[in-house]
Amino acid sequence: MEHLPGRATPDGTRAFRERALERRQISPLHFREAAQSLTLSSIGLGTYLGNPDPATDIAVTDAVSIALTSGRVNVLDTAINYRGQRAERSIGRALSHLVATGPVRREEVFLATKIGYLAPDSESERDPRSWVHEELVQPGILPLAEVVGGSQSLAPSFLRDQFRRSRNNLRVEAVDLLYLHNAPDAQIPEVGLEEFERRLRLAFEVLEGFRAEGTLGTYGLATWDSLRVAAIEPGFFSLETAVRIAHEAGGEHHGFRYIQFPFNLAMPEAATVQNQRVAGVPMTLFAAATALGVGCFTSAPLLQGRLARSGATAAGLPRAATALQFARSAPGNTAALVGQKRPEHIAENLELASIPPWDATTFSTLLPSGGRSDALPR
């Protein structure tokens, strides 16, 4: 199977933005400059939810096609374990078709995926346990001593294998952003902070190797709790520590450039809780990321649909649009990643590209108790 060459580039992503502004009613503020001078949409397409079946494969492939050809989205987010590798394959089918037929070019699209969780192939006839044993354990790719919680590993040989599989699934020679998937969340409670930091440095060295060979642009940590919880919590991890370890692994020009975490009206901690420190100064997660030169992508803007059914409304927007507008408007956020498969939901969410994100004052009015965020300006 032929793989698409190249990665997202400054010229390519800028051309995507300019074409969108010229041909469609889109707010210029919908696009933002990110690491490596890339121009990215403030709404990204997530691919987490759905059954591992052919019908969902088609729905996700169609969603990718609609999002990219709309001119409103050039950020795609997935993971090797989403739907047992089928989410990546759905993106791969859509992207390769669109590039082949001409609506978009590979260099216009920012493609992110995640590795770290065991990801049995849901299209295999083997049961998940047999698949893991035969594909990973038996060949010596996955040392069982380095598996935590029965489901996650940072073993270098495992990471190399998973990244190869991801690129094959996605039909690309290179990925723009590769996350270690819930690494601190899964590892710290099992092995402790000191051992986790040792493992993280080895993992970052592997990722720096991918960058050196040209198959990866940047890397980061996709997390759920560890970067948001209070510093006294046992699973907390310091973003400043992650940056220090990346510097040790890759030098001044290391590739650790992004983090991902949930942020929504019900989970606003990244903008309200000063749990991080940079040079000894307490900061929110958004503020710390900005100070450290790390970009943010946020997940779960609709809280798996709950905020679309019973969330707040503001500025004349319906509930789902309010929740998504809140997330994309957070100062310091590069893009809010929303999972969507039904065409009517895609159309509704993409309409937000026609209006600018809220300013910091308007955004802050929706924070709990009217609390203001101390996140630094974009």
Q: How do residues 72-91 score in pLDDT, each as one tens digit?
A: 999 999 999 999 999 999 99
Which pair of tokens denotes residue 270?
């990244």
From the list 172, 174, 182, the residue with the least C-alpha distance to 218 is 174
Q: Which domain holds residue 326?
A: 10-370
Tell me, yes or no, whether 2 lies in a domain: no
The pLDDT > 90 percentage for the chain reads: 83
Residue partners of 343: CB distance under 8 A and separation at least 6: 62, 66
Cα–Cα distance list, 180 to 122, 198, 206, 207 (Å): 21, 14, 11, 10
Which residue, chain included where needed, has tokens 């998504």? 324
Count: domains in the chain: 1
Burial of 353-375, coded b for 16+ CB within 10 Å and e otherwise, reads bebbbbebeebbebbeeeeebeb
Mean pLDDT computed over 142-158: 97
What is the sign, positive or negative, of the torsion defined by CA atoms of 197, 156, 224, 147?
negative
Full-model pTM: 0.95
How much is the pLDDT for 109?
98
Phi, psi of 282 (to 5 degrees): -65, 135
Mean pLDDT computed over 4-18: 97
Q: Residue 293: which CATH number?
A: 3.20.20.100
| Cβ-contact 182, 222 below 8 angstroms | yes
Task: Render pLDDT for 117-129 as a digit per residue (tens, 0 to 9).
Answer: 999 999 999 999 9
Task: Render pLDDT for 182-234 as a digit per residue (tens, 0 to 9).
Answer: 999 999 999 999 999 999 999 999 999 999 999 999 999 999 999 999 999 98
How much is the pLDDT for 130?
96
Mean pLDDT computed over 124-147: 96
pLDDT of 371 strictly over 70: no
Task: Render pLDDT for 338-357 as a digit per residue (tens, 0 to 9).
Answer: 987 677 777 777 889 999 99
pLDDT of 318 strictly over 60: yes
Tell me, yes or no, whether 4 lies in a domain: no
Residue partners of 98: CB distance under 8 A and separation at least 6: 65, 68, 69, 104
| Cβ-contact 255, 242 below 8 angstroms | no
Q: How far apart are CA 172 and CA 49, in angstroms?
A: 23
Tell me, yes or no, whether 5 lies in a domain: no
Q: How far apart are CA 46 and CA 351, in angstroms?
A: 17
| Cβ-contact 180, 114 below 8 angstroms | yes
pLDDT of 377 strictly over 50: no
HEC letters along the chain = CCCECCCCCHHHHHHHHHHHHHHCCCCHHHEEEEHHHEEEECEEEECCCCCCCHHHHHHHHHHHHHHHHCCCCCEEECCCCCCCCHHHHHHHHHHHHHHHHCCCCHHHCEEEEEECECCCCCCCCCCHHHHHHHHHHCCCCCCHHHEECCCEECCHHHHHHHHHHHHHHHCECCEEEEEEECHHHHHHHHHCHHHHHHHHHHHHHHHHHHHHHCCEEEEEEECCCCCCCCCCCCCCCCHHHHHHHHHHHHCCCCCEEEEEEECECCECHHHHCCCEEECCEEECHHHHHHHHCCEEEEECCCCCCHHHHHCCCECCECHHHHHHHHHHCCCCEEEEEEECCCHHHHHHHHHHHHCCCCCHHHHHHCCHHHCCCCCCCC
Tell me, yes or no, whether 79 lies in a domain: yes
Tell me, yes or no, whether 43 lies in a domain: yes
How much is the pLDDT for 2?
86
Tell me, yes or no, whether 3 lies in a domain: no
Tell me, yes or no, whether 77 lies in a domain: yes
Task: Render pLDDT for 37-75 as a digit per residue (tens, 0 to 9).
Answer: 999 999 999 998 889 999 999 999 999 999 999 999 999
Tell me, yes or no, whether 237 lies in a domain: yes
Which residue, chain included where needed, has tokens 């600018």? 356
pLDDT of 271 strictly over 80: yes
